[in-house]
Amino acid sequence: MPTPKRVALPPGLIVRTGKFVWNTMWHTMMSQMAPRSKAGEYTRPESAFRSREITPEAGRYRLIVGMSCPWAHRTLVVRVLKELQDAIALTTVYPSTDEGLWLFDSDQTELPGNCRTLPEFYRSCQAGYSGRATVPVLWDSKTNTIVNNESAEIIELLNSEFGELANDSDLYPESLRSDIDALNEKIYATVNNGVYRCGFAQTQHAYDQAVDELFTTLDELDERLSTQRYLCGNTLTLADVRLFTTLIRFDVAYHGIFKCNRRRIADYHSLSSYLADLYQLPGIADTCDIDAVKRDYFGNLFPLNPGGIVPVGPGWEGLKHPHNRERFS
């Protein structure tokens, strides 16, 4: 008996069916990972815990961070700049590829309930909590409360509220606050959150608008930094901290997976040397974990990188080279 001939499906049908199924699944997954507006623009939810009440006691407070997260990284940088490592303990979490939430590295005997996941920890501090469980977290061990989980406010608290436990540097001086606040507002919208607006855009228009605003601001910052060492002249401030944690991830992650690929930070003369200057400040390199950044962006953002393949480059070797920015001081 002759073997029946196999009838191949028309290639066009396979392609159209595959695109329809994947596009439907992609929008469903993206809606869970990245809330969007009607125009397809990423909209970042507000943080839930916003207290500013601190009683400066060594060992009382703990930071919970993810090493890949730029928002959490801000708190690590300020903790080092204010020399608070001995006063404020540190706990790290990592994102689960399959569960879509933060997991603790191991059994956390220093935390209530020996929690396995960050949502469990949030609920152990506030019964019935059902909101987002994000990093960073500033936790008060004495009262078992989450003081704050908004990075912009936590770094201000670390700068000003820990008294003699910290050094006497001021990263948010009164004389520069109006300049710092104005810079922070623009940089947050177009750069810090701007890279996410590019990567999580769900329409072409939303992406085009976000990427144009991102690189317009980077161009302006590069020009600004061509005549001064830091964003506010020759004084290191919280504005620099907030920009640093985005810039250091840019060429490694955002340029590729978030399609922020008009230029690299390495292509900017002033921004690249400024980034190296900050990276080489005492203790700052130790807060940076390139393996975590690559693993978590490329390995865990499934809708943006379904294969989970982590690129081999680039690295941060160039940030160790002389930057010659002391000439502005």
- Strands 137-140 and 145-148: what pairing? antiparallel
The pair of three-digit structure tokens given for residue 203, joined into one six-digit string: 């329409």
**Identity of the residue numbered 312:** V
As a whole number of angstroms, the distance between CA 187 and CA 181 comes to 10
Active-site residue flag, 69: yes
Q: Which residue has the tokens 């590069």?
A: 222
As a whole number of angstroms, the distance between CA 64 and CA 91 comes to 5
Determine the straight-line distance between the first and last CA of the chain, rounded to whole angstroms: 89
Neighbours of 259 (CB within 10 A): 16
**Identity of the residue numbered 245:** T
Q: Which residue has the tokens 């990263």?
A: 171
Q: Which residue has the tokens 């201000």?
A: 156
Active-site residue flag, 260: no
Is the peptide bond between 173 and the residue preceding it cis, with omega within 30 degrees of 0?
Answer: no
Indicate which residue of 42, 61, 69, 254 is catalytic.
Answer: 69
As a whole number of angstroms, the distance between CA 228 and CA 327 comes to 9
As a whole number of angstroms, the distance between CA 190 and CA 209 comes to 10
Indicate which residue of 42, 196, 230, 297 is catalytic.
Answer: 196
Q: Catalytic amino acids?
A: 69, 196
